[in-house]
Every structure is written in C-alpha cells, then in structure tokens.
C-alpha cells in the first residue's frame, strides 16, 4: 500500500472511532425507594436480566431482545471513581444459591456501570456503525438517606413541631415515651452542653431504630441517626426535635440544635441531592404498598405523603429553588408497585390503580412538565407462584411460596388489594395481611421475575432504537 493510501486508511479508521464514540449513548438511572422497598434486589435483577438472561422467552416485552438486535451486555469499570461499587457478586450469589435468600441491606451509596451492545435499527446510528453501545450507570443507596431530602424544604421549628406532634400520637407514643420525657425536662434556653445534646440525640436515634424495626413508619428523620455511614459521632448528627422556647439567645440549647439542623441540611442532605439526584436521566421509584397496607390506614397515608414530599424535590416546576440551583434533568419516571408477587396475578391491576391514586398529584405535576411517567406492578425476583384453590363453589386466587424464616411451603390467600385509597371508615376490620416469601430458586440459572422486561423497555427502550 502506498503511503497516502495508508494515511487514508488510518484516517478512516480513526474517523470511524470518533463517529462511534459520538454515537454511544449514556443513561444514568436512579433507583429510588424507601428503606426495604426492594432497591438492591431490583438492581441485582436488572443486571442479571441484561447480562445473563436476555432471551426472548425471558424478556418478551424488551424490544431490543424481541427484535433480535441485542448483542450482549456486561459489567464495565464504573464511571464514578469516588463512589463505592455495588456488590453485584454477593447479591447475585445469595439469589442463585440452592437455598436462595434476599441480598443483604444497603449501608452506603454505591454504583455499577454496564455496557450494552446492540444493532441499531434506525437513524444515523444504524447507517454508520454496525454495532452501537449504550452505557448504563445504576445507583443504589440506603433509603434512610432519601427520607432526609424533604428536610431541605423545612426549617428547624416547623420540622420540630411536626415530629413532636407525631410522636404524641397513639401509634408512636409507646416508642417515643422515653424521648418525650427527656424533652419535657429539658430547658432549651440554658447554655448549650455538648454532652447533654449527644445523650438526648442518642435516645432519639434509638427511638428511630425502634420505630424502623417495629413499625412500617417511613418518615424517620434524620436518617443518619439510623445509618450514620462515615458520619458516626459527628456533632452535626447530635440534634433532635425540640419545642421553641419564648426566648432564644445565641449559644442556648435551642440555638445550637437549630444550627446543627441547618448544618446537617447543608453538609449532608444538600450534597447528597446535588451530587446524585441532579445527575440522573431516569428514575425508578419502587413502592412497597404491602407493608403500608399491612400497617394500617395511617401508614398508607404516611407512604403517600413521604413519597409526595420526596418527589417534590424533583419538582419540575421552574420556581423551585433547588431546581434553580441544580437542574434535575429526569425525563422518565417509572413507578413500580414492587413485590407484586406477594399477591396473585389477578390483583396486579388493582395494585397499579392503588398506586396511581396514591401518587396522582405528583404524577400530574410531572406530566405537566413533560416527564414521561408510567406505573407497573413488578417483582425483581419472584418469590411465589399463583395457585387457584376451589372452596365449595368459589375459586380462591392464592399464592404458593416458602415464608421467610420457615421450612415449609404454604398456599396462602392474601388480602384483596383495594383499587383506590380507602377512607378510614372503609378500611377492612381485620386490616390487610400478606406474607413475605424467600425468593424462588433459579431454574437452570434463570431467576424468575414479574415484568422486568416492561421496566427495561420503559427505561431503556428508546435509547436502543
Ligand atoms: N416478594 C418480593 N419481595 C421482595 C422483592 N424485592 C425485595 N423484596 C423484599 O424486600 C426486602 C428488602 O429488599 P431490598 O432490595 O434490600 O430493599 P432496599 O432497602 O430498598 O434496598 C427483601 O429482603 C425482600 O424481603 C421482590 O421482587 N418480591
Ligand atoms: Mg438496599
């Protein structure tokens, strides 16, 4: 080959690379949801579906697979160097075990990156390049931290009044008693005393942990008193709700508590919002309606208001101060009525309708701001099978699975799911009852799921055309 020909060839090769790079797409997905809503299991299943189960039988609704354009997907070195890695290997190991278990709880933020290779079907991408790549970044973090986001819209006085009022209600009182006694004895006009504040803050932290362990309560703030991460022992965490005294002088206890509350917002909550939430393109909001229904009327309301408060921070309206500071760029939000396998398939449509009625206001705001919103009943990993039982002349739609912590499989009739938010007087007398099961064992390495292909299509489909 003559010299000019060689140059031309090199030029064309590098031009192809440049075109290729320019055509590659990136998507950053936030998997949000309160503690225990199933984020870790969702991400684990998401990765598994793409890297090992991308077949037509398994993902019939995922267009890139259905149309035979999917080439392969694998984990790659993560983009965000300063964020710990999502431990996919241990999570998938526990799910694929002969006696499968749910992955363990998340104690910090973490991330994982994937590269998905496919044949494009339309546009410049299809004409110029035989293969295209979509880079996917997923983020997982403790739901306890998410619950702090609404603090950004509150001042210390408002927050304190709301929380103290809640602690005095019947369902909180038995847990909050010790803390309320401490607060009752405290003279917040006195000079601040670090040891005293640390002591009462630790009693408050114990209260939050007890509420988390024993109730379906969601709004447990500050979240870092439950899971401090690397902030354990920092004075910023040593605050708690306190009634405002008539007189607040510089350096008194109330003044110090208020300063710590503001410091917590500034140095803990705001960076979490700014560094992570404003960087996402797409968001999955996992909702566990089952715990809330089981908890009772007030807990379902709490799930509703906590979700609305959290979503208001992605407020797509122009005048929101957080938006003005750091513009969130989310264009698609998937609301997943997760763990739908805790009930039989014929209940799934009610579950979706219940969630839609719970989130009507937030969804409306999003749609108004051109955010594409969808709701679906999903299960990252199936833990039960449908079973129909004939009782006299009636057919009962049951689920069949192995309850967590037990050895025997059971056939169980879960409560019927209401299709709208019930008024207090419409609430059934015995409440709602559901069972949690261990994940079903994988069949030939394949984890069963419910509608993960619908979720993948909604989140990635348009990027894979
Ligand atoms: N039935 C069912 N239960 C699930 C599913 N995903 C999670 N769970 C349950 O929810 C618990 C919390 O899940 P996890 O992923 O750790 O939630 P996270 O705190 O949001 O990360 C698990 O231990 C399971 O008991 C699912 O797809 N189906
Ligand atoms: Mg988790």
Q: What is the pLDDT of residue 183?
A: 96
Q: What is the pLDDT of residue 196?
A: 96
Domain 25-141+276-383+441-464 belongs to what topology?
Answer: Rossmann fold (3.40.50)
Q: What is the pLDDT of residue 148?
A: 92
What ligand is nearest to the CA atom of residue 31?
1
Question: For the CA atoms of 345, 402, 296, 145, what is the dihedral angle to 10 degrees?
Answer: -100
Q: What is the pLDDT of residue 82?
A: 87
What ligand is nearest to the CA atom of residue 339?
1
Q: What is the pLDDT of residue 111?
A: 94
> Residue holding tokens 């959290």?
310
Cβ atoms of 78 and 137 closer than 8 Å: yes
Determine the atom of ligand 1 nearest the C-alpha atom of 341: 1
What ligand is nearest to the CA atom of residue 34?
1
- A 10 A CB-CB count for 271 gives 10
Residues with CB under 6 A from ligand 1: 33, 35-41, 102-103, 105-106, 143, 339, 341-342, 379-381, 383, 436
Task: Please give the distance, rounded to the nearest whole angstrom, from the Cα atom of residue 242 to the centre of ligand 1.
Answer: 35
Task: Please give the distance, rounded to the nearest whole angstrom, from the Cα atom of residue 33 to the centre of ligand 2.
Answer: 9
Query: Which 3-state string (H, E, C) describes 366-416?
Result: HHHCCCEEEEEECECCCCCEEEEEEECCEEEEEEEECECCCCCCEEECCCC
Which residues in the chain are classed under CATH 3.40.50.300?
Answer: 25-141+276-383+441-464
**How does pLDDT run along the chain (465 residues), one tens digit per residue?**
566 666 666 655 555 555 555 566 899 998 988 889 999 999 999 999 999 999 999 999 999 999 999 999 999 998 888 889 999 999 999 999 999 999 998 778 889 999 999 999 876 666 677 799 999 999 987 787 888 988 998 999 999 999 999 999 999 999 999 999 999 999 999 999 999 999 999 999 999 999 999 998 999 999 999 988 888 889 999 999 999 999 999 999 999 999 999 999 999 999 988 888 788 899 899 999 999 999 999 999 999 999 988 887 766 555 566 666 666 778 899 999 999 999 999 999 999 999 999 999 888 888 888 889 999 999 999 999 999 999 999 999 999 999 999 999 999 999 999 999 999 999 999 999 999 999 999 999 999 999 999 999 999 999 999
């Amino acid at each position: 080959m003559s010299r000019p020909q060689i140059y031309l060839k090199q030029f064309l090769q590098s031009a192809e690379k440049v075109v290729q790079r320019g055509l590659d797409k990136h998507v950053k997905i936030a998997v949000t949801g309160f503690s225990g809503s199933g984020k870790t299991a969702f991400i684990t299943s998401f990765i598994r579906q793409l890297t090992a189960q991308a077949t037509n039988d398994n993902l019939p609704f995922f267009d890139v697979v259905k149309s035979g354009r999917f080439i392969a997907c694998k984990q790659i070195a993560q983009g965000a160097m300063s964020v710990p890695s999502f431990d996919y290997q241990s999570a998938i190991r526990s799910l694929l075990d002969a006696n499968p278990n749910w992955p363990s709880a998340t104690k910090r933020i973490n991330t994982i990156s994937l590269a998905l290779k496919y044949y494009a079907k339309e546009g410049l991408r299809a004409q110029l390049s035989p293969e295209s790549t979509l880079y996917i970044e997923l983020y997982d973090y403790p739901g306890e931290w998410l619950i702090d986001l609404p603090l950004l819209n509150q001042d210390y006085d408002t927050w304190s009044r709301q929380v103290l009022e809640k602690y005095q209600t019947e369902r909180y009182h038995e847990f909050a008693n010790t803390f309320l006694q401490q607060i009752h004895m405290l003279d917040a006009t006195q000079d601040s005393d670090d040891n005293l504040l640390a002591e009462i803050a630790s009693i408050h932290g114990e209260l939050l942990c007890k509420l988390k362990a024993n109730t379906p309560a969601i709004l447990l703030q500050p979240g870092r008193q439950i899971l401090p991460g690397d902030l354990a022992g920092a004075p910023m965490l040593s605050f708690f709700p306190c009634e405002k005294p008539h007189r607040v002088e510089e350096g008194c206890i109330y003044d110090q508590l208020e300063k710590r509350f503001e410091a917590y917002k500034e140095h803990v909550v705001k960076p979490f919002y700014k560094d992570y939430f404003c960087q996402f393109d797409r968001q999955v909001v996992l909702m566990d309606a089952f715990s809330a229904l089981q908890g009772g009327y007030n807990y379902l309301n709490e799930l509703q208001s906590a979700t609305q408060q959290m979503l208001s921070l992605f407020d797509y309206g122009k005048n929101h101060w957080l938006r003005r500071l750091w513009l969130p760029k989310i264009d698609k939000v998937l609301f997943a009525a997760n763990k739908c396998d805790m009930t039989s398939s014929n209940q799934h449509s009610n579950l979706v309708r219940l969630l839609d009625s719970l989130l009507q206001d937030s969804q409306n705001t999003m749609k108004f701001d051109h955010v594409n919103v969808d709701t679906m009943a999903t299960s990252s990993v199936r833990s039960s099978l449908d079973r129909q039982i004939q009782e006299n002349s009636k057919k009962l739609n049951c689920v069949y699975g192995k309850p967590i912590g037990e050895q025997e499989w059971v056939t169980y009739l879960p409560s019927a799911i209401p299709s709208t938010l019930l008024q207090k007087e419409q609430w059934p007398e015995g409440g709602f009852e559901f069972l949690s099961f261990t994940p079903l064992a994988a069949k030939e390495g394949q984890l069963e799921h419910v509608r993960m292909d619908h979720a993948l299509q909604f989140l990635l489909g348009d990027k894979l055309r």
